Amino acid sequence: MSNTPVTGLSAIGAEYRALDKVPVPARSFSLLDEAALWFGAASLPAAWLYGAIMAGWTGLGGALLLILVVSPLAFLPWAALGLIAARVGGASVTIVRPAFGLRGSAVPAAFYLVFGFGWAAVNVFVGSIGTSFIFKGIFGTPALGEPGAAGPMAVAIVITCVVQGAFAVAGHRAIRAMEWLAVAGLIVLGAYETYLALTTWGVADLFAWRPPEGITTSVGSFRYVITLALLVDLLVAYNWTWEFIGDFSRFARTPRAGAVGPWIGANLAQSWWFSVGALGVVFLAVQSGQFDPSRSDPSSVATALGFGWGAYLVILFATVATNAGNVYASALGISQLFPRVGLSMRALLLVAAIVVLPLSLLPLFAADLLGSYVFFLDFVGALVVPLWTIVLVDHFVVRRGRYSDDLFRTAGGAYWYGGGVHWPGIASLALGTALYWVIAFAFPELRSAIGATIPTIAVVAVVYALSARRDGSDV
């Protein structure tokens, strides 16, 4: 690393790896910068799908309750992670080290790769649907949902991965330009869809619609009735798997900017896109008499509403812009797991971009796209809920907000513990993940009533706080 700190947006991805402390002169992001960055990052096509699922509970009224009340509340603990990162100048994979130990933090770092690569693959697949419709218009090949669409979709996925990889490696200016182009296009697209829905049916008709009794959604091979508890589980998983909050909050001028900025930006974006997804699927349900969340991705909605190539290109741009952040986060995760590898950040970005390609092709082999998407949310929920609970309890309860620069070391120091592993953190993480999965899949009736998230947070918080204090971690 050079002796002169890089400032402004040029700091992102330029010189600072996972275990580098961002110096104060390079912490130049204002609250508005953070809010704008996260508004762009959270403006992604996959959000439409989840908004459609939320409409399956009690219709638009229930969806708006989740979108405007539950989601902002669920974002508060996530924003606190940005506060920690801004205080210490460390990335997301760095702020977990006091809770798990310098070596033990390899476990959450591996999870971090699951979040980054998994979200990148989901976004690529959803974003590539529009490209398959473009191919249909040019070459007459089948689009997704039609027989024989696997081949054109595979080509579309390759194109999306190549474009997003090029933008990620090109650097912050290219990412920023694509991000704002995508945001502007999505706002126009979403606004027109909203206008079309409201002027065609009116607010009263749309809000009067109710989903069929006992409607279910698939979670992998499991099926659940869509209830408030299930949707809270998936919403927390969705919000908390924005794992790279620390990667950008470490560049914030103040802890307030690193926490409040992301909370505002991500909330504004997700509230809008969840609402558009819910409104779109209800509009189509009123129009056709059938409620089908699996056809609520932006490309399918754009086709049903008669939009053209412009809509498909906007969706592709949005995917590329969002996934540049996921690729960056995954590159940081690699640098945390292999700190002695002498690759530059740009080289690590290229490696991460290449890894996303085969993962993005996996949904082609899934019989149910929506079920695979929801299963992914549930899978990472079992990892992310206990993980971030432990980090928050460790910082705010056990250590009372005090972290030293020893968290940037590769060996020794306050967070070395016994051989580099903090076993209370590892054990609490294993317990929380197991508890989430047991409630989610062994006791479906319990999950329908209270969900898996709240019990997991409560048990993990108590167990970790008691065990960490017992081994002297709070001194």
CATH classification of the domain holding 208: 1.10.4160.10
423 vs 310, which has greater pLDDT? 423
The parent domain of residue 88 ranges over 8-218+246-366
pLDDT at residue 136 in the model: 86
Rounded Cα–Cα distance for residues 157 and 214 (Å):
35
Q: Which residues contact 451 (CB under 8 A, 6 or more apart)?
A: 229, 230, 232, 233, 439
Residue 389 falls inside a structural domain? no
Beta strands in 127-198 (DSSP E): none
Mean pLDDT of 410-416: 92
* Residue 401 binned pLDDT confidence (cut-offs 50, 70, 90): very high
* pLDDT for 6 beyond 50: no
Q: Stretch 186-213: mean pLDDT, rounded?
A: 81
Top pLDDT among 221 and 38 is at 38
For residues 157 and 124, is the Cβ–Cβ distance under 8 A? yes
At 463, the pLDDT band (50, 70, 90 cuts) reads very high
Asked if pLDDT for residue 302 goes beyond 90, the answer is no
- Percentage of the residues of the chain whose pLDDT score is greater than 90: 40
Cβ neighbourhood burial of 306 (10 Å; 0-12, 13-18, 19+):
exposed
**Mean of the per-residue pLDDT values of the chain:** 84
3-class DSSP assignment, residue 21: coil
Say what the pLDDT of residue 5 is.
47
- According to the model, what pLDDT value does residue 7 have? 43
pLDDT at 385: 96
Let me know if residue 415 belongs to a domain.
no
More confident residue, 210 or 167: 210
| 224 bridge partner residues | 217
Q: Flag whether pLDDT at 3 surpasses 50.
A: no
- Is 165 inside a domain boundary? yes
List beta partners, residue 217.
224
pLDDT tens, position by position, 53-65: 899 999 999 999 9
| Most confident option among 101-105, 225-229, 284-288, 348-352 | 101-105
For residues 165 and 149, what is the distance between their CA atoms, to the nearest angstrom? 24
How many of the other CB atoms lie within 10 Å of CB of 235? 26
The CA-atom distances, in angstroms, between 417 and each of 344, 448, 465 are: 30, 40, 17
> Using CA atoms, how far apart are residues 273 and 279, in angstroms rounded to an integer?
10
CA–CA separation, 230 vs 208, rounded Å? Answer: 23
Residue 308 confidence class, pLDDT cut points 50, 70, 90: low
Average pLDDT over residues 198-221: 82
Whether residue 388 has pLDDT greater than 70: yes
Q: Answer whether 266's CB lies under 8 Å from 42's CB.
A: yes
Per-residue model confidence as pLDDT tens digits over 142-171: 988 789 999 999 999 999 888 888 877 765
Q: Which helix (H) or strand (E) holds 357?
A: helix 345-361
End-to-end Cα separation, the chain, in angstroms = 33
Flag whether 292 is in a domain: yes
SS3 136: helix
CA dihedral 297, 299, 301, 304 (to 10 degrees): -140
CA-CA distance, 262 to 281, in Å (whole number)? 28
Say what percent of the chain tops pLDDT 70: 88
Q: Give rounded-to-5 percent helix, strand, coil for the chain.
A: 75, 5, 25
Q: Does 470 have pLDDT greater than 80?
A: no
Per-residue pLDDT band for 11 (boundaries 50, 70, 90) equals very low
Q: What is the pLDDT of residue 310?
A: 63
| Residue 37 located in a structural domain | yes
Q: Helix or strand or coil: residue 38?
A: helix
| Band of pLDDT at residue 343, cut at 50, 70 and 90 | confident
* Structural domains counted in the chain: 1
pTM: 0.85
How far apart (Å, rounded) are the C-alpha atoms in residues 385 and 222?
Answer: 21
Q: With respect to residue 444, please indicate whether it lies within any of the assigned structural domains.
A: no
Give the pLDDT confidence of 183-195 residue by residue, as tens digits.
777 777 778 767 8
CA angle 223, 225, 226 (to 5 degrees): 115
